[in-house]
Amino acid sequence: MKILALSDRTEPFIYSPVVEERYRGIGLIVGCGDLESTYLEYVLTRLNVPLLYVPGNHDPDRLDVPGGQGIDGRVVKVQGLWIGGLGGSRRYKSDGIHQYTEGEMRWRVMRMLPAMMARRISRGRGLDLLLTHAPPLGVHDMSDPAHIGFASFRLMIKLARPRLMLHGHSHAVRNVDTMESLLFDTPVMNVYPYRVVELE
């Protein structure tokens, strides 16, 4: 299945009438945070396929995209794929709603792990796709307080072994910065600002 992944920035050629022709054959849209709901709703309306999303650290307290499905802190089955979502970034100010300390994110990960581990035992993988805003610690992250990744994501990947992880948040430059890595045999991809990926 072809997945259109979006994060952190509105792309004019996606937010345009040609999106249907350019992205024909897309089976799923995923939003990795820090995107206006009107942008996601527009792409969803044009492509007419399921949309899943998690919030970024700059999103409103209650991010709602009409027609889409927020999966922050949840695991869902869509288009035959088991998909888990964890939004937000590292806490770097006291009043950020979608910001978490390492301990807070670890607690969120631990609440999701039991169901994933049951699938890992029976199927070899706890998830098909892990969708986050921030990256794992040491993978595509940065040294400033807002952009340090989460060690708990490393733990989740190690235990649940998702087939693929997609994240945003790190504003990388293609062909200059690393956009793809392998962590415990799971491909980790930075989708900023957009990316088409295949997942069978």
Domains belonging to the chain, first-starting first, are 2-198 (3.60.21.10)
Check if the beta carbon of residue 139 is closer than 8 Å to that of residue 169: no
Query: DSSP label at 62?
Result: S
Judged by phi (left if over 0) then psi (alpha if -120 to 50, else beta), residue 70 lies in: beta
First to last CA, the chain: 5
- The pLDDT tens digits along the chain (200 residues) read 999 999 998 888 888 888 999 999 999 999 999 999 999 999 999 999 999 999 999 888 888 999 999 999 999 999 899 999 999 999 988 887 899 999 999 999 999 999 899 889 888 899 999 999 999 998 988 888 888 999 999 999 999 999 999 999 887 666 557 789 999 999 999 999 999 999 98
Query: How far apart (Å, rounded) are the C-alpha atoms in residues 165 and 153?
Result: 10
- Alpha-carbon gap, residue 150 to 157, rounded angstroms: 11
Is-contact 158 125, C-beta < 8 A? no
- The DSSP bridge partners found for residue 99 are 89
- The one-letter amino acid at 18: V
Length of the chain equals: 200
